[in-house]
Each structure stands twice: as structure tokens, then as C-alpha cells.
Chains A and B, each alone.
Chain A
Amino acid sequence: MPVNETLAHYSTWCYGSAVGVYVLAMLFCLAEGAFSKVRQKSAAQSRELVGAGGPSVTEPTPPTPAAPRYGRTVEAPRRPLPERLGRMGVSLIILALGLHLVAIVLRGLATHRAPWGNMYEYVSVLCFAAIAAWVVLMAKFPIRRATGFVLVPVVILMFLGGTVLYTQAEPVEPALQSYWLAVHVTIVSVATGVLLIPGVASLLYLFRSAHDRNPARFARFAPKLPTSDTLDRLAYRTTVFGLPLFTLGVICGAIWADSAWGHYWQWDPKETTAFVAWVVYAAYLHSRATAGWRGTRAAVINVVGLAVMLFNLFFINLVVTGLHSYAGVG
């Protein structure tokens, strides 16, 4: 079936707009971090919380006065400007997420297939999954202040996706014409997107915990981050969600490889690197149960895990020749 060019164009425009709004949101969120004042006691507070392992701290919300039924209207106390910027950033993310979703759906409608057949489309879905997961997690964890740092890699990925990796909407080659394209690639791209979050959270954890141990370090930056306990729990909980998903994706990939290439596992570079990433995340889970490895070392392992995933995405697809060379990038 021919590609619907009109829809493909609309999809590309939506993608571009989404990137624009993400950039704006990122600037807003980073501005919050840059201009908000460091709370003096935060370091001591967070240390206490780590020790107690108690319930999570929720951000203080300013009391909303009961609206008087008549008489003078009293203006609610306004939040400080940086915080308002940060909250605007989150609203912008929701807008961008909507545009992004439309871009993906239109791409699928234009090509009459699951819209993740080349690297541009794959990166798009991956970033969507990462941001959607972040929005969901923001409702559960007090992590809004770290939003800017998640947007940075997403914006970079989407920019690369829209420029270097961009490919015209096209049908895919016979090896990819399978319902496993929808199953395997969806799961793997969503899992990669989800695993982006613990990587960033662990990286931030390293700054924050270094600051907790020695308040002089990163004194202007780290106190504005969520507490190290929150970051640690965030990293663990998302890894625990992302890793089984990734495992499922690899298993589906093996089943598909068996029907498309004749071997369910033959150490293709992509398979190997996925295996390595899996082992690194397994090491992360084990490290959390090993004395002396919790905290900093576990966080380092998680960051390494993300590095391997990104290496798998870029280096293996673009530089190494293997069966997974579907990047569609000349």
C-alpha cells in the first residue's frame, strides 16, 4: 500500500512542534533549578530520612485559604517565580506529549504499519515512553525538580532523531513485515525509554549523595535535587518495572529472530549488547542486596546500564554491521 504523504507531513510537523515544546519545557524546568534558592536545612533533613527509611517526604504545599462566600476576594498567596516556571514546564510537557503522540499515530496511519520500523521512529517511541513514564512517576514521587534533567537526554535524542536519523515514511523490508515488529519493537523501545529514567535518577543520586556526605560538594546544585532516598527509590522502582519488560522484549525478539533468520540467538551484535545490558541490570539488582554495594556503587552500575543501552542504540545500529542494521540511515 502506498504511503499517505499528507499524513506523513503532518506527522513530521507534529514531531517538530513536540521537540520545540519539549525544549521550552526543559528551559522552564532548568530555570526553576537555576533561580530557586537553596533551602538551608535540606541536606541535614535528607540524611535523617535516609537513616529512618521512613515514608516519603512530600513537597510542602502552600495552604489554600477557604474562599470567602462574599466580600473582598483575597488573592491566594503566589508561589515564588522559579517554582511557577517549573510547574509551567510540566504543563508544557503534557502539551508536548500530546503532540508527540499525534506524530507517532499519524506516522503509523501514513505507512499502514506499526510506526517503529527505522531508527527515527524507534527513537521517537522511546522518548515518548520515557516522558510518559516520567509524568506518571511525578504523581507518585516528589521528583518534579529533576524534570529538566530527564528532558535533556530526551531533547538530545529527539533532535538527533529528527535530523541525523530522519528517514522518509516508507514500508519496511520483508524481514520486518511481521506482527512481531509491533510486539518486539514496541516492548523494547518502551523498556529502553523507561530504563532511561533510573539511569538519570542514579546519575543525580551520585551528585546528591556526594553532597549529603560532604555538604560543600555541589552545594549550589545538589540541594535542589530530590532527596537521595527519593532518587534511589525512583531508580529501583523503575528498574524493577523496566527490566522484566526489557527481558520480555528480548524473548520476543528471539522468537521473531527464529522465524525471520532461522536462529533464535546467534550473537548478533545487537543481541550481544542487549545481553550485556541485561547482565549489567542483573548486577544492579544483586548489588542492592550486597553489603557495601548499596547506594553509590549500585547507582554507578545503573548508570553503566543506561550507557550500554544507548551504546546499543547508536553505535551498534550505525557503526557495526549486523542483522539488526535497519537504521535506514545511509
Chain B
Amino acid sequence: MTRTVNEPAEQTATPPPRPSPLRAAFAFLRNTWRGLVTMRTALMLLFLLAVGAMPGALLPQQPLNPPLVTQYIQNHGWWGRLLDKLQFFNVYGSVWFAAIYVLLFVSLVGCLLPRTVDYFRQATAKPVLTPRNLSRMPHHARTTSTTDGLAALDLARKQLRGWRLIERSEEGGARSISAERGYLRETGNLIFHFAMLGLIIAFAIGKLYGYTGQSIVLAQGNQQSQWCNSGVLAYDSFSPGLRVDGTDMAPYCIRVNSFSSSFLPNEVANSFDAKVSYQADPVNDPNSWQNYDLQVNAPLNVDGDKVYLAGNGYAPVFTVTYPNGQQRTNAIQWKEDDGLTYLSEGATKFDPPGITDPAELHRKQIAVTGLFAPTAVVSGGIMTSVFPSPNNPGVAAQIYEGNLGNDSHDQSIFDIDQTMVDSGQLKMVKQANLMLGQSVTLPDGTKVSFDSVQRWVSLLITHDPTQDYVLIFAVALLLGLVTSLVIKRRRIWVRVTPAGEGDADGRTVIEVGGLARTDQAGYGEEFTRLSARILDAAAGADRSTAGKDI
């Protein structure tokens, strides 16, 4: 897009006969097209793209952070609702942003096609005729000599090795060299623009056919810690591309064996490390488990997908001993409230064993909720966490008994159903601070003990079939950019006009002219060097003839 299309000046002499509607429509289309592919339009579209992309950085975005968007809309009243209606919370999926980049895309293609044709036409073309008046060129140097000046032409031929060069005889006996160099600039320029097109297309295809999802897995190394990419339901959250229906997914399995983390004294994380085993092809090769050390910055590549260690946390293990001696042990992930100290909250839920009567069941369901502190400090009865490592785990437990409501409607795994509490069907029966190994007895004689702590990890799974192509296009884009910026397309002409033609004193005139076809910056030095050498050759020949004369 580095060429301006000069529109021919409008002719306003005689009003032409009224064109037929078809022709008028065609003319309109043609003019629109011409307008669209001009540099000026491309510049405007670039500005629009820059301005249009900006709100995406300043406003919360739906795909990145949905709760923040909801909050923003609530806090800003009509203004928030207006922005929402105008798709400002999903800028990169909005109609208007798409309009900008589609227009830019069309403008780019419209500009590239003729240029590519031109490029191949020029690949074999000879350098242009030497302009009649070299002194009108941006770079110009001139000298006169008593010799025939051909030494200058000889030297010019030697100096201009690597240039595309043609020597011509002109009318009146003058000889000239026309040379051009830097064709690679256009090559680089075209590569850059085509690579950019390719990158955008590959990016879009990747979005259509890719998917990303998250799943939380306990790091226990047992059956419970195994996760298989069997379908959409295996994920806790899943966002597919438009062309993904959840079938045909690579059927690998992952087992998280253990998880460890370390922290600096100021609670800043230092390392996260999950030891996993994975099975690339469970159907054909069910016994081939391979080990992998899954860390941040070290995702696992398996079967075209990538598995990342995206998060971690604690799952306190509780055992409920019923008055009849039966026991149930349960552990489920609690989510961290505080990213620094890992103070977490959650709800571990129990169904009483051996009870089939729904009414009885709905009196005896138990949920342990509250706060979990990996390094607990209790002061004044309030438990807080002072460090993220599990140095002194404690639970500020609130134990509820009654109807959890989990068979009537969906509920969060991190929380109890508040409507059940409000309706009195679920009552808090005990509140206690439990350290590791401690237990508490409920009014009905049921004992709840805090046995141990398990770790969980959150796995992020992504599938992007065009990622490699995006990288290849990005590298091509960069190489094209560098080539087109470093190499200068430039021309140089040398003309030797024999005595009597150009100079009043009857001396041979040697002229050098130069023109940088793209940006002028930087050609001056090279031209000065080249022209000085060529003119010096003429002067040198002059001196040696002068010497002979004496």
C-alpha cells in the first residue's frame, strides 16, 4: 500500500450526455472501488482501526471477564447500557470493528492485486530511458573533461555491479547508462502485505475450528484425579469455536499425580509444579502412560491439544461419622478468595448413607462450608490465613444440616443453596474453628472431622489448528517488513555528451543523476559516493591526457 493512485482531473468542458442508469451504476461502483484502494483511504482505515481497537483496552471485555462487564453496566446506568448496545464490551466481535477490518482487507487486496501484476511485469523490464535533463533530478552532479569521457562510463559499469543496467546511444552522439537497483524492496513489501493477509485468515480459521476449556482435577494420582478429553461434558467450562460441536475431539487422558508450590516469604509465588501422567491414545494403547512435569510456561502437547497448568488450590478433606458408626469421607475443591494467602471458601456436601426415603434424606444432608486457611492464625475467634503454603491448615467451619436442594435444581459446587437456607429447610447447626485432625460433634451426635488437605489444579486445554501457520505468517511478515524498509529502490543515470553538444567551451560533459523511487531518506550518501567516483574517473582521465600533452 505504498502507492498513491492519482485520480485524473475532472473534465468540466462540455456536459456529457446523460449516461444510462446501468452505466451510472457501473461508474459509481468503479469510482467507489478506486476510492477504496487509494492510499488516502487506506490511511483513514488504519486510523479507524487504531481508534476502534482502543475501547477494547479501556473497557472490560465480555470474552475476557464477563463479571466485570456486568458490574460495569450496572454501575454506569444508561451509559453502560448504551455502550453494551453498541457492542463496546465485545469490540473484537462487533459489527463495526468487523466493518473496519473488512474494508481495510478489501482495500489491501485491491491495492495488492495490481501491484503484484506490475511486479511480475517489472521483473524482466529494462531500466527506463535516461531523462533528457538530469539536472532536474533530486540528486545531480556534473563535470566537464577534455577527454571523450568514456573512462567514466567504463568505471560506472564497474561501480554499478549488481545494478540492473542498460547502456544506450542517444541522438546527437551522447551515450548514457541507466541503472536501477533495489527490486527486492517491492518483493519484501508484497511478502509483508500477503503475509499479513495470511496471518489474519489463519487467525480467523483458528478461532472457527479451535476450542478452549477448563477443568479442575484433584492432584491425588488416583481415579478421581484422572481427566479425559471425552467430550464437552468433561469440562467445567468450555468455549468452542463456531465450527466446533464437541464431537471428534482427541481422546487423550491425563492423571494429576501430585502438586507442589513454593512461595517467597512475602507470599509471592515462586513455583508451581504438577506431576502428571498422560495417555495419548487410550483406545489403541491403554497401558502407555507417560510422565510429564506440568508447569507454568511448560504446557503439555498431546494429540494436537495443549494442556496448561492454569490454577491451583486446596480441597479440605472431611469425614462425617454418623451416630450409627457409618462414615463418609469427602473432598472437593474450595476456591481461593485471596490470591496471596490462598484463604479459600467452598462447600463440601454429604448425603447420609443408606437412606432412601426422600423426606428422611432431606433432614440429614450435611454441608461443611466456611473458610479454609492454609496457614491459619486465630485471634479473637476469627481465623485468617497468613501464608499460602499448607503449614498450619485450619477451617473456620459452618456446618449446615437439612435439605441441600441438590436434587431439585443445579447449584454451585462452591456454595450452598441460599434459597434453602432462607426457607428454613437448611439450618446451620454448628460453627467451629477446626485445625487439622480436630473434630466437632453436631447436636444430633454426628461427628465431623477435618482429616487432611488435598491439592487441586485447574487444567486449561486449548486446541488451535492454525497456530503454526500464524507463526509462519508472522515470521514472513517480519522478514518482508525488514526487507522493504532496509532496501531502497533507486535509479542512477550517467550521460556522456561529446564536445560541442552540451558545453560552450567545447569540452565533454559528464553528468550523473539520481532518484530514490521510494523514500528519499538515505540515498544521498550513496549517490554522493558513486557520483564522486564516476566523475573522478573522468577527471583522472583528464589529468593523464593533460600530462601527455606536456
Contacts and interface: CB of A to CB of B under 8 A. Distances in A.
Contacts, number: 144
Contacts of A156: none
B382 interface: no
A286 B1 contact: yes
B302 interface: no
Nearest to B52: A276
Contact of A279 (B50, B58, B64): B50
A203 to B, nearest CB: 18
B47 to A, nearest CB: 6
Contacts of A64: none
A247 B481 contact: yes
Interface string B146-189: 00000000000000000000000000000000000000000000
B268 A289 contact: no
Contact of B3 (A267, A282, A289, A308): A289
Interface string B379-414: 000000000000000000000000000000000000
A174 B297 contact: yes
A260 interface: yes
A175 B296 contact: yes
Interface string B478-520: 1001100110000000000000000000000000000000111
Contact of B43 (A255, A272, A275, A283): A283
Nearest to B273: A174
Contacts of A265: 203
Interface string A266-288: 11111011011001101101111
Contact of A170 (B91, B268, B485, B524): B268
B219 interface: no
A227 to B, nearest CB: 13
B110 interface: no
A177 B297 contact: yes
Interface stretch (A9-17, A50-58, A103-111): A50-58
Interface residues of B, number: 63
B35 to A, nearest CB: 14
B308 A255 contact: no
Interface stretch (A25-33, A66-74, A207-215, A235-243): A235-243
B521 A233 contact: yes
Contact of A240 (B467, B478, B485): B485
Interface string A170-208: 110111011010000000000000000000000000000
A58 to B, nearest CB: 12
Contacts of B460: 262
Nearest to B51: A276
Interface in B301-316: 306, 308, 310
Nearest to A282: B46
B46 to A, nearest CB: 4
Contact of A283 (B47, B57, B474, B525): B47
A270 B91 CA distance: 15
Nearest to B462: A262
Most chain B CB neighbours (cut-off 10 Å) among A174, A244, A286, A291? A174
B378 to A, nearest CB: 27
A259 interface: yes
A280 B264 contact: no
A146 to B, nearest CB: 17
A287 B43 contact: yes
A56 B522 CA distance: 10
A243 B42 CA distance: 19
Contacts of A289: 2-4, 39, 518-519
B429 interface: no
A283 B522 contact: no
Contact of B521 (A170, A237, A316): A237
B53 A272 contact: yes
Interface in B187-231: 203, 212
A170 B264 contact: yes
Contacts of A292: 40
Contact of B297 (A259, A272, A279): A259
B99 interface: no
Contact of B271 (A177, A275, A288): A177
Nearest to A269: B57
Contacts of A55: 524-525, 528
Contact of A286 (B39, B63, B310): B39
A233 B296 contact: no
Contacts of B49: 279
Contact of B64 (A173, A259, A267, A286): A267
A149 interface: no
Given A258-B306, A290-B43, 9 more contacts: A54-B139, A174-B271, A254-B474, A262-B306, A262-B308, A267-B57, A267-B61, A268-B64, A316-B57
Interface of A: 52-56, 170-171, 173-175, 177-178, 180, 232-233, 236-237, 240, 243-244, 247-248, 251, 254-255, 258-270, 272-273, 275-276, 279-280, 282-283, 285-293, 308, 316, 320
24 contacts: A54-B139, A55-B524, A170-B266, A173-B268, A174-B270, A175-B296, A177-B271, A232-B521, A233-B521, A237-B522, A248-B478, A262-B212, A262-B306, A262-B462, A267-B57, A269-B57, A272-B53, A272-B57, A273-B57, A276-B50, A283-B46, A289-B4, A289-B39, A292-B40
